[in-house]
Structure 1
Amino acid sequence: MWPKAHSCLYLSEVLQFIHTHPFQRNLYLPLSKHCSHRKMLAEVLLSVFFLTVCVYFLDAKPKNLPPGLWGLPVVGYIFSMLPFPEQIKNLQRRFGNIASWRIGSRITILISDFTTIKSALGHPNIAGRADFFSFNIFSHFENMGIIISNGSQWQHARRFALRNLKDFGMGKASLENIIIPEVNQLINEICKQEGKPMEISNALNVSILNIIWKLVADRRYNINDEELLTFQNMIHEDFENVQGPVMLLDYFPWLLHILPSWVINKVMRVNIMEYNRNTFNVFHKQIVEEHKKSRIPHNPRDYIDAYLDQEEKHDPNFSFKLELLDLLITIRDLFVAGSETSSSTFRWMIAFMAVYPDVQTKVQAEIDAVVPRDRVPNLNDRMNLQYLEAMLNEVHRHASFVPLGVPHLVTEDTDLEGYVLPKGSIVLANIFSCHFDPCYWKYPEKFYPEHFIDEKGKCMTKREGFLPFSVGRHVCPGETLARMELFLFTSAVLQQFTVKSPPGEKIIAETDPSKLLFHHVKPYKVVFERRTQIIQS
């Protein structure tokens, strides 16, 4: 046997000799009737060798990569019968708080330590958004919008959106005037089914969406509006789809070029995602056209007007590219980010109140001591409703709606805690692990609002190990709005009603373990019972 380093040279010399010296080849014909077969065999062996060498170098594990699962060429490490959450726990258990996991052509870095997560997500080289198919399909594979765009386009588009939305009330106490009517509308819907088992999803979803509509398009819809309910269902469907089989295209992008269309559409539901995206665009384009006809330049009513004002200036030095597609993508981003997260967290809260009636009673006693029954709570009451605020933080902790955060992209080889994160790798922040880390929580598995109460009886909104809205450059821009909505909806509903499990049933506040990216609470029905007696604190 020749050394591997010399086998390539040897085989190439043999083939060259045979091709350039036909008389020698003929000379050996009497010795064997299968010389051509030998030539073919040599060529096959040579091809196999070259393929082996290429696979070896292309599959080489990067130096100083965090420990983890590497697996086989092309496919990486994907063979496990465990549910995805258990695989994540095993990865952390086996390899520590910084672990790697190669799936397909992607290297994923899982970070499970609170301090390291803060350091990593604040690093400029880990500020990219993952270039996943399931993300980019909603932006038409363009670097636009404010959620999955990258670079200066993302920075300036996000800054522009936040500045203008703030002008229309986002994050300000004045937004209460928009939220309270939606709170009252939800309470009226609950009253219609008082004492009967009910799902709260549709009524809540429209109420939350109306708040975003007011900021973005200066519109408001009836709680039973079929069109708006359709769009809400599309948003929920997209949340389901992006954590389904289409994720294979995120980690094995070459599958898009070899799989038959029926697999891509029927199994991965790409056609449904495209349909929902295009339907949103058509509807929002109509609204933009209406704004163009009715707007008063430089006197914006909402975000669309503000965007059109800026676009009309035709400033070549403006910080990001303004065009209709970017506006449509941004509108969708705002609706998706601003509706599903808030409504899902509220549904978690209702489930927890049914499961933990002692906590609910304590919250109601606090509300009764602070707020007169002839009005709903408002933001001025917030400072005096500390246990309520602590309970909502505990909902965020327990629910951990985005358990692994939104995937980040490493844009340059980056040193982190003694390891090198390769360019192009995906970083996942294990927020769920932080939220259940006994280093930070007295009773990690228990629903215990006192986790957020300090020695003075005040609620701690910010504390170690708590990352409900992520951290760093991609911290959720709607945190203030989400907290405001959740406080006003929760305080009003619990002031007016007691949440109970239906007779003979037991609600279990838990998520579906088959969901990979988002923690939606399992569907349930509850009974809202009108409160007629004030609880004495």
Structure 2
Amino acid sequence: MDSNQENSQNTENKISKSNCYCGKERNLNIIEVSCSHCGKFFHESCIGYQMGKLLAFSQNYLFTCKFCSPTGLEIYKRISSSPQQMCITTIANLQRKSVKDGNLRYFFSKDKEIIPFIDAYWESITTIARKQTTGWYATILKTLQSHTDLFVCQDIEGDLSFGLKNPDLEIIKPSYEKLNQKDDDNLMESFESNQNKVGRQQKRKFTGLNEPATGPTGKKGRPNSDIGAIVKLPAHGYPLEHPFNKDGYRYILAEPDPHAPFRQEYDESPDWAGKPIPGWLYRVLTPNAVLVALHDRAPQMKASEDRLSIIGEKGFCMARCTHFVTRGSWYWEATIEDMPEGSATRIGWGQEYANLQSPLGYDKFGYSWRSRKGTKFHESHGKHFSNAYGEGDTLGFLIMLPEQEGARYINNTFKERPLVKFKSHLYYEDKDKVSDTLKNLKIHPGSKIYYFKNGECQGLAFENIYAGAYYPSISIHKSASVRLNFGANGFKYPDILNEYKCKPVKIVSVQILLSKEKLLEMVSVILLAVVVILFLYKTYKYVMYRPENFPPGPPRLPLVGSYLFLLMLERKNLHDLALRMCKYYKSNVIGYYFGGNTKVVTVTSYKLVKEVLQRPEFAGRNDIIVLRLRERNFKLKGMFFIDGDFWRDQRRFTLRHLRDFGFGRRFNDFEAEMREEILDFIQMIKDGPRYKHEEKFMKGNGRLKFPYSTTATMTNCFLQVSMGQRINREDQAKAFKGASGSFGFIRNTDELGNFISIFPWLRHINSRISKYKNLRDASLILYNFVEEIVKREIDTYQDGHTRHFIDVYLNEMKNEEQKLIGFDYDQLVMFCLDMIFPASSTLPIVISFLVRQLTNRPEIVAKCQEEIDFIVGNGRLPGLDDRDCLPYCEATIRESMRMDTFAPSSVPHRVMEDTYLDGFFLPKDTAIYANIQSVHIDQALWKDPENFRPERFLNHHGKINLKKDFSFPFGSGKRLCIAETFSRNTMFLYTTALLQNFNFKPDPVFGMPSLSEDECGTGSVRYPKDFWVQLEPR
């Protein structure tokens, strides 16, 4: 078996085990057609025939694949579509679209979906002319209702909806057993009967001579419009009609390349719709047998149906065969079947640029032997060579092309050339290079050409011929007829093969000759180009890849995801960048990547932010290294950053028992203790620093440094609730140190968690660049401060005596069952840390924002003080009972939290299960950020969000109107801050006490604190840079 037959057999074996030529499985997202013989499905892009308008799941066609076709060429024909087939195709496409939209449906409205779809795709669904009236609507309805074996119906509030009785889309294909296959069967019979005849029993028909070889005809003998689909072809499977090679251009038949890279991406991508098919998706189609090349001949030359006989007409013109040789010894024969008086032939070897409208040997590209007088010709110079030959003679043609040192042989792919369409087939269009080839012609040393007549060698005709690729070539004058034999069924004189050690041309493979240097250069360039293109493509695809129905957003890079793009656009305020990206992508939901594959989503707008905060499937937390390094042994414990059943159990236990000690509700004892704490703080402001640790945060004359000056007193407020203790003023250096750990953690992260979250291993290489050391040191400062307090309470714990919340937790830890669900020492320490952390940092930051606003707005201070003086006076501190009577003070606090959002991107959430948000699909474990800042500056909600205006929270009676408060300073839903009530009460008591006792003045040294955004920092939360203010006693 020769190599071509072996390749063909391998391909047939492969296709028998899979669907398409490419060997890939079915893909319902692209158009596929089913073969009428083997029943396999083939991708549209793998089929050489141009099928025109066609829809997925169409049934109105007849298709035969190349392996089932008797000609070896695909057969395709459009046919009329019945109403049932039109409805099946329509509903199947609607069902597939619903799957792609993420909302699988099986029933579709007749009036709203089915009829409009058929109307829009009429030409693709059927060959019937489009109806001018709407009468076909009734036909469709009747079809859907009557064919209960195919369709099912639902009546939804008077709207008829229909679906497929069997919704499995993979089974949809034409009912070929019902189609008329007469043409195809006749073609098979004709092929088989013709193949059984050999020699003179088979009547040869010459294309274009006596009768047209253009297949079936329509009415009145005119060619059928579907001629290209069902044209009768010879066994070699090569189209009978070709574009002719002409001066300047050559045409090479192409077929889909099933091994082309990125074929599936091309099939599924809508970007190529309406554009020319890229040449690299196809390959050169080479006939399995050596034949007369119909496209590479003068139009006057007529070839027989089997393309092994050729007849001339009028003056000399030429035809070449399909294959060529470049090295080795090759032999073929030609028999003169008819030589009328006055006709002549010139036969021999010619290169691809030999002029087809001239006799062979007219130019430098051909070497021929003439019938008259036996003259040999090259470059139009004739020399006597042998006696003449004529009708009945069998001629032999032998060429010897020794291997050239340094030469290599490789097939030309033409994949860089454009594709053109002719008679439903595609061809590479290649420009000839006659002038360049003439300049570069070189002698092929040792090359020879011999001619034979009836088995007798006529001698050496040519030697040292020009190097190149040589085709068997024939030129004929007038109507001589020549039969060609390339050895497929043996030669008439086979002894020549053994005597001259040559091979029959039938087994030649297509080659081109290249020099070693050019080959290496070309291979290097091709390999480099392939690597670069593949790298660029894969990089582009990775960078721009978006999961199906995932929100739009910035591209990503390997390993770091979108993080670098975000930092390049905005290094400081990522929440502001999210707002800009939402405007750019015209979406309130944007998606990007953190690290290599961690999906992140940010949402804006009041509706979506509220939805994210309140929906239970968004209540998860992300597990990243930044959160784990807060604990000594890197365990994920505490209250803020856990989720699942563990979080629910801890939250339920904490809220139930903390309320008993005044946390989260009105509690007189707690309020009295807080009042004492506030009085001590006021006295400390008036007296100035008494201890060395206080000198860092306060000076005489009421000068305070915010936010640090309030950290110790705020920490004491929480300790009173949870442990029933406070830190005395002389020992508050420990509290200030613990607060420095809280602030250090905030300032060394960003809203996404910093580089250390992407590359945890960076801490082992350079802990300073990754900020790991700063984060770890700050975390351990706070951890050690909290652990010292907890250990002191454990040491003084007495069984059966409950003093505070810590004792309640210690009692629970004694229960062995509770230990199994996380009630242990590490969880207790981290819970206290999560409560002390906001008390020592969050509350001081929020009050610092308010102090900064009040210092810059004396008119607001005056209104608040007037309200306090009128309601409370100066004989006592304002209490929680006065809160409803001090609406302007309360509104001022709320306005400050709106204008200076503490957590503009909220604490990040995690998607607990696959779900949808605003029509976008969010897979499980996607990190999701609710951009609270977008709500707090939304002009539609606040009208003038850029202005500090407490009145926006008041109704026309001057009372607080909670319906006007669209802010989320403490979050919302199940993840609402458990300390919201505690924090609001603490802020109200401290703010009103300071307003009652002091005026807010610019610091005499540092001046007025700036309200500029440049004077704020953004770490894990937003905070003001350190500033000084003078509180002047009233």
TM-score (norm 2): 0.45
Q: How has the CA–CA distance of structure 1 residues 401 and 58 changed in structure 2, closer, same or farther, with 3 Å as cutoff?
A: closer
Q: Distance in 2 between matches of 1:171 and 1:478?
A: 7
* Partner AA of 2:577 in structure 1: Q
Is contact 2:626-2:753 (8 Å) kept? yes
Letter in 2 for 1:88: A
Alignment partners' CA distance in 2, 1:450 and 1:521 = 24
Secondary structure, in 3 states, of the residue corresponding to 2:940? coil
Candidates 985, 989, 992, aligned match of 1:488:
989
The 1-side partners of 2:932 and 2:938 are apart by 10
> Is residue 630–residue 783 contact of structure 2 (8 Å, CA) maintained in 1?
no
Residue 358 (structure 1) shift: 0.4
Partner of 2:628: 136
* Secondary structure at the counterpart of residue 199 of structure 1: strand
1:2-401 residue pairs with structure 2 within 5 A? 3-4=260-261, 60-77=545-562, 78-79=564-565, 80-85=568-573, 86-95=576-585, 96-105=587-596, 106-139=598-631, 140-174=633-667, 175-193=670-688, 195=701, 197-224=703-730, 225-243=732-750, 247-250=754-757, 252=758, 255-257=759-761, 259=762, 261-263=764-766, 265-315=767-817, 320-401=821-902
**Structure 1 letter corresponding to 2:611:** S
- The aligned amino acid for 1:138 is R
Residue of structure 2 equivalent to 1:23: none
Give the aligned residue type for 2:773: N
Contact 1:510-1:521 at 8 Å conserved across structures: no
Matched, 1:526 2:1029: yes
Query: Which residue, 944, 963, 972 being the options, matches 1:443?
Result: 944
Q: Distance in 1 between matches of 2:961 and 2:624?
A: 36
Aligned-partner residue type, residue 508 of structure 1: S
State the 1:173 CA deviation.
2.4
Q: Cα gap change, 1:480/1:220 in structure 2, threshold over 3 Å: closer, same or farther?
A: same
Give distance in 1, aligned partners of 2:750 and 2:943. Answer: 32
CA distance in 2, matches of 1:149, 1:270: 22
Task: Give the direction of change, closer, same or farther, for the CA distance of 1:59–1:112 in structure 2 (3 Å limit).
Answer: closer
Q: In structure 2, what is the Cα distance between the partners aligned to 1:286 and 1:116? A: 43
Report the Cα distance in structure 2 between the residues aligned to 1:513 and 1:285, rounded to whole angstroms: 31
Alignment-derived partner of residue 457 in structure 1: 958
Alpha-carbon deviation of 1:187? 0.5
- Aligned residue number for residue 17 of structure 1: none
What is the CA-CA distance between 1:376 and the residue it aligns to?
Answer: 0.9
Shift of the 490–514 alpha-carbon distance from structure 1 to 2, 3 Å rule, reads closer
Contact 2:711 2:739 in 1 (8 A): yes
Q: Tell me, what secondary structure is at the counterpart of 2:941? A: coil
Give, in angstroms, the shift of residue 110 of structure 1: 1.3
**In structure 1, how many angstroms separate the alpha carbons of the residues matched to 2:589 and 2:263?**
40
Contact map agreement 1:437 1:465 (CA 8 A) in 2: no
Inter-partner Cα distance in structure 1 for 2:648 and 2:642: 9
The correspondence for 2:979, drawn from 478, 487, 490, is: 478
Q: Secondary structure at the match of 2:556?
A: coil
The structural deviation recorded for 1:47 is: 13
Counterparts of 2:722 and 2:851, CA distance in 1: 28
Q: For 1:239 and 1:310, how far apart are their aligned partners in 2?
A: 32
Gaps of 5+ in 2: 1-256, 265-404, 409-515, 689-699
Q: Establish whether residue 434 from structure 1 lines up as the match of residue 935 from structure 2.
A: yes
Q: How far does the alpha carbon of each residue in 1:129-151 deviate from its partner, in whole angstroms, 9 at most, with x for none?
A: 12222122224443421110121
Structure 1 unaligned spans of 5+: 8-28, 532-537
| 1:370–1:384 CA contact under 8 A, matched in 2 | yes
- Say if 2:542 and 2:557, in contact at 8 Å, map to a contact too: no
**Higher Cα radius of gyration:** 2
| Contact 1:143-1:153 within 8 A present in 2 as well | no
Equivalences for residues 503-522 of structure 1 within 5 A: 503=1004, 505-511=1007-1013, 512=1015, 514-522=1017-1025
Structure 1 position 340, deviation (Å): 1.4
Tell me the CA shift for residue 155 of structure 1: 1.2
1:121 partner amino acid = L
The one-letter amino acid of 1:127's match is A
> Which sits farther off after the overlay, 334-343 or 349-358?
334-343
Asked which structure has the greater RCO (Cα within 8 Å, sep 6+), the reply is: 1
Contact 2:910 2:926 in 1 (8 A): yes
**TM-score (normalised: structure 1):** 0.85
The 3 A distance-change label for structure 1 pair 141 and 197 is: closer
* Superposition deviation, residue 391 in structure 1: 0.5
Comparing both structures, which one devotes a greater share of its residues to strand? 2
1:235 CA displacement: 1.0
| Whole-angstrom distance in 2 between the partners of 1:336 and 1:524 | 21
Distance 1:56 1:298 in 2: 66
Q: Is the 8 A contact 2:551 2:920 kept in 1?
A: yes
Over aligned residues, Cα RMSD in angstroms? 3.3
Deviations 1:405-455 (A, max 9, x none): 001111222111111112222111111111111111132101100010012
Report the AA paired with residue 346 of structure 1. I
Paired letter, 1:155: R
How many angstroms apart in 1 are the aligned matches of 2:726 and 2:787? 17
Q: How far off its partner does 1:366 sit?
A: 0.2
Give me the whole-angstrom Cα distance separating, in 2, the residues matched to 1:486 and 1:299.
32
Q: Identify if the C-alpha distance between structure 1 residues 94 and 290 changes in structure 2 by more than 3 Å, giving closer, same or farther.
A: same
Q: Which amino acid aligns with 2:724?
A: D
Aligned residues: 505
| Overall identity of the aligned pairs, in % | 25
Moved more, 285-294 or 119-128: 285-294
